[in-house]
Amino acid sequence: MTCASCVGRVERALRKVPGVHDAAVNLATESARIRYAPGGEIEAQLRRAVRKAGYEPRALQEQAQQQPSSWSGFAPVGLGLLLSAPLVLPMLADLLGRHWMLAPWLQFLLATPVQFILGARFYRAGWHALRAGTGNMDLLVAIGTSAGWGLSVWLWLTRESPHLYFEASAVVITLVLLGKWLEARAKRQTTAAIRALQALRPDTARVLQPSGEELELPLAEVLPGDLLVVRPGERVPADGTIEQGTTQVDESMLTGEPLPVAKEPGAALTAGSINGEARVVLRAVAVGGETVLARIIRLVEDAQAAKAPIQRLVDKVSAVFVPVVLAIATLTVAGWLLAGADAETALIAAVTVLVIACPCALGLATPAAIMAGTGVAARQGVLIKDAQALEIANRVDTVAFDKTGTLTVGRPRLVGFEPAGDEDEATLLAMAASLQAGSEHPLARAVLVHARERGLQIPPPDAVRAVPGRGTEGEVGARSFLIASLSWAAELGIDLDAWRQRLGHWEAEGATLSLLLERRTAGVLPVALMAFADEPKPEAAEALAALRARGLRLMMISGDNEAAAQAMASRLGLRPGEVMAQVLPGDKSAKVAQLRAGGHVVAMVGDGVNDAPALAAADVGLAMATGTDVAMHAAGITLMRGDVRLVAAALDISDRTVRKIRQNLFWAFVYNVAGIPLAALGYLSPVVAGAAMALSSVSVMANALLLKRWRALGTQDAGGPRSAPSQPAASR
């Protein structure tokens, strides 16, 4: 494909296939992403539709295996330059005040191979476009240069010492070929992020046999549950947990964090990361397409294949672009003839119009910027799932944060346990730990850890039931207990005034409070007060300050009581009006909707299952990859490490990418709006028009590639995939 018109033609052809719901074609990658109802021979029909539209369908895997060198495809360009150079020499001589011309027959011999051999691709593609009832850049080039070549032959045969235009047709074709070659080189750079991620997957793995022997197998034959040996310097072949060994692992490919991470038995390893100084044995949990690395690659590919909403305007323009240009060229001829000019002048002006009109830049403006932006973001630990999230993030004016695990470390500690009466503290703590034994809630884990640190015997519970957003209830032995939030305790009729002094002390410390209650014949009575403390992430205050510096409104949504939430907010540098306290997990999405109803474009940042509805309700959801898969699926952007500074980084790369898209589209439109009238009025020559046409698409690609220099705030460049200290066969 060569231009935006090609994109429209392929999309229309694919959408006509029965069963196809939608088709999106990417000019930068020359690929199509198709949503269709499976059944029948639909894949064969899709291939046939592409071929009927004038293109050759290739499998994506086949395309990925082709790794052309930097100079691949330069041979036709080099030959064109060699044949065109003698034709340009007389033009240069004119500038120096010396007038001479090559013999017409020599000009013909030099220009004809360029026109019909090197330029054959334009005739083929233009013919296919005509057969499909549309037009494209190739058709414009073929008609324009053929007119210049044909006019030169006619003048040569009918006039004495005529001025010929062989150099115009040959140079235009050569310049367009040069522009397409430079463009192809730039395209390879925009897809470098995907190729780098794909290169992280080793081809083989060492599977540990029951006999202790290490058997090297293709990665496709590794199954979940296999024990895999990873030697120092090798890449981890699958997601899994360490069974034996302690090591340092370079996970920069996944998180963008340049420092190695210590790993002990029980720790998770991710496919593609580099093992450090020790041999380890891991048990495979996810292999092949189910690994985190494979999912990251799919996310980046999806984002790069998607169309941003702004692309709709380009699609509308490209659908009518070529017919409009052909009409302008016809009017140009008619206008010059009516003005009294000769046919030669009129035809050259029309040729210049055809040559300078280029829908290439329009077609590349959006996908090139999206590919470069999402690629560099992935290197820095920011995964953008779709182009719509990328574009909307640019307009965000309010950022709402979940507190626990997002702004705080997410590992609260039990810092206070105060019995209400004379009953033994250890006994009551053991009861509380018993109720929390099956829970994954951070506060439940804090109770269990504290009880185990004290060496308490934790009795088994009965009939434990979680009450979402309120607490837990169940039986331990013959006694019935509840662990309740203060709001639930108030609903149950507990007199909190009697606890006011104690509550006030812990709330001033910023602690999260719960009550251990017991159901007795006299009703529900409090038996102990529990205070939990969490620490803000070290970089959280800096991250919030960076967002505030961007002019953004900040909000923290917390289930804590007002005093505890405000205490944590002050430690984070948040203001009193930037806190929503005592929000039940199920109500977070309503709070986000409330912010949006005020006319704000809202980004929600969270990490837990209970954040998923709020992430989906926001204009843009940003999920911490340290959290759950549910949160990541609900979010448009995934932050691959728990560094809150990546929120500002995600918004920044969105802003820069959208800015590049707008810059590209502006110059692509301005180029045609200014160039076509100048060409029609005779102020440009075909050679200058050809150079400008070639330059337009190359400049769009080059502008997009400037995004590769972007670095996330407060982080170092991970530098993409690192080379391992050694590269044994299994790791290559």
274: left (phi over 0), alpha (psi -120 to 50) or beta: beta
Which residue type does 160 have? E
> What 3-state class would DSSP assign to 651?
helix
Q: Is the dihedral of CA 140, 170, 168, 149 positive or negative?
A: negative
Tokens 């009795």 correspond to: 459
Among residues 402, 534, 643, 652, the one annotated as catalytic is 402
And the tokens for 651? 């918004």
**What does the DSSP 8-state code read for residue 556?**
E
Question: Which residues, other chains included, contact 441 with Cβ-Cβ below 8 Å and sequence gap of 6+?
Answer: none
* Contact predicate 242/702, CB 8 Å: no
Half-sphere exposure of 247 (CA within 13 A, CB side): 30
> Whole-angstrom Cα distance, residue 306 to residue 304?
6
For 586, 602, 604, 623, the CA distances from 592, given in Å and listed in that order, are 11, 7, 8, 15
Calculated CA dihedral for residues 347, 353, 354, 358, nearest 10 degrees: 170
CA distance 506 to 496: 14
Secondary structure letter of residue 306 according to DSSP:
S
Instruction: Determine whether 560 is an active site residue.
Output: no
Quote the CA–CA distance of 573 and 668 in Å, as a whole number.
44
Output the CA–CA distances (angstroms, integers) from residue 548 to 544, 545, 607, 609, 653, in the order listed: 6, 5, 21, 27, 17
Asked if residue 607 lies in contact with residue 405, where contact means CB atoms within 8 angstroms, the answer is: yes
Which two structure tokens, joined as six digits, stand for 348? 């050259």
Nearest to 381 by CA among 625, 587, 155: 625
State the Cα–Cα distance between residues 408 and 441, nearest whole angstrom: 15
Q: Are 301 and 195 in contact (CB under 8 A)?
A: no
Contacts of 96 (CB under 8 A, 6+ apart): none
Lookup: tokens for 324 = 């409009």
Environment class of residue 693 by beta-carbon count within 10 Å: exposed (0-12), middle (13-18) or buried (19+)?
Answer: buried
Comparing CA positions, the residue from 120, 136, 160, 162 lying closest to residue 54 is: 136
Q: Active-site positions?
A: 402
